[in-house]
Amino acid sequence: MQYYARPETGLDPSCVNEAVEAAFAAFARGETEMPPKVYVTLPGGDFRTMPAYIPALGLAGVKIVNVHPGNPARGLETVMALIVLLDPPTGMPYAILNATGLTDLRTGAAGAVAARHLCRKQDGIELGLIGAGRQAETQLEATSAWLGIDRVRVWSRRSATAEAFARRFSRFEIRADSLERTADCDLLVTTTPSREPLVMDAWIRDGTHINAIGADAPGKQELDPAILIRASVYVDDPRQAIHSGEINVPIAAGGYSIDRIAGTLGDVVIGRGGRHSDDEVTVFDSTGLAVQDLAIAGVALRRGGPGVELVFP
């Protein structure tokens, strides 16, 4: 059994995007096994257990990931993760990966896959980023690997954070801006831990695609529910989205109903549904699938790199 401490180092964003796209497609075809993720509450946070199996890739395993918002004050990351891979025909664990970086990358890749299939154009894109943390970085890296980004606007609750983000990505035509002006774009990506709507419907121009990334637990939301009513909403997994995605609060409050969901991103990837017109507003509600984690773990292992040999069994 091998342990990989830095499996995300040097991964090519296009390869990751492709692997994650294939995982969404396999999920849509019913060719994966993936129970809904299981939450356990801890003091100051929680951890989630995400088992899955993708027969076509020969990948089976579990991601274990926490969310502890108070961690940065202790010098630790909010989200830390491990992936354990098992050999499907024998069930034997053969690899353990530090998956903190992989989790960022596979979430970025989901946004890129959604943008490829749901944006009304693939070039000359005006991108808006609500939130300027690590996930905003990986969304920008992953999406710009596949789509032509013309200009970027970025907003953060602390303007200094947005300005620092803009300096780090000065290879783009980029500027920190207000919420309202940032939301006026072709592709809007929200990556905050907000528990109340930040983005108002009136600010969203026709034809915008929104990647709603931040909401991944009950009580979290970033979008004015009127956006969800106006838009065609695609989810990664209906079971998870209802429980913990962008739609979870509006559903609990009665302002959104499950039967409004337009489909899954996997459905769109395999050609079952997608954008109907250039004027349509589309939303991808991302909660994060265990099959994304398996897919990126597979990319990391194929690339090789140094591991530590552990005695097992």
Catalytic residues: 63
Which residues form the interface with its own copies (CB under 8 A)? 3, 5-6, 33, 35, 38-47, 49, 51-53, 55, 60, 62, 64, 66-68, 71, 74, 76-77, 80, 82, 84, 86, 88-93, 96, 98, 100, 308, 310-313
Enumerate the β-bridge partners of residue 176.
154
Cβ neighbours of 87 (radius 10 Å): 14
Nearer to its own copies, 82 or 200 (CB): 82
CB burial readout 21-52, b (16+ within 10 A) else e: bbbbbbbbeeebebebbeeeeeeebebbebbb
Instruction: Indicate if the alpha-carbon torsion angle 174, 178, 179, 183 is positive or negative.
Output: negative
Closest by CA position to 247, among listed 231, 225, 267, 268: 225
- 100 or 232, CB closer to its own copies? 100
- β partners of residue 61: 52, 85
Choice between 68 and 106, CB closer to its own copies: 68
What is the smallest separation between the CB atom of 298 and its own copies, expressed in angstroms? 16
Query: Residue 161 Cβ, how far from its own copies at the closest point, in Å?
Result: 22
Q: Which is nearer to its own copies, 40 or 258 (CB)?
A: 40
Residue 31 CB, shortest distance to its own copies, in Å, is 13
Please identify, using beta-carbon distances, which residue of 39 and 172 lies nearer to its own copies: 39
Four-CA torsion 263, 265, 266, 271, nearest 10 degrees: 80
The two tokens of residue 278 are 């250039």
Closest CA to 57 of 96, 29, 98, 99: 29
Least distance to its own copies, CB of residue 81, Å? 8
CB of 307 to its own copies, least distance (A): 10
DSSP category for residue 200: -
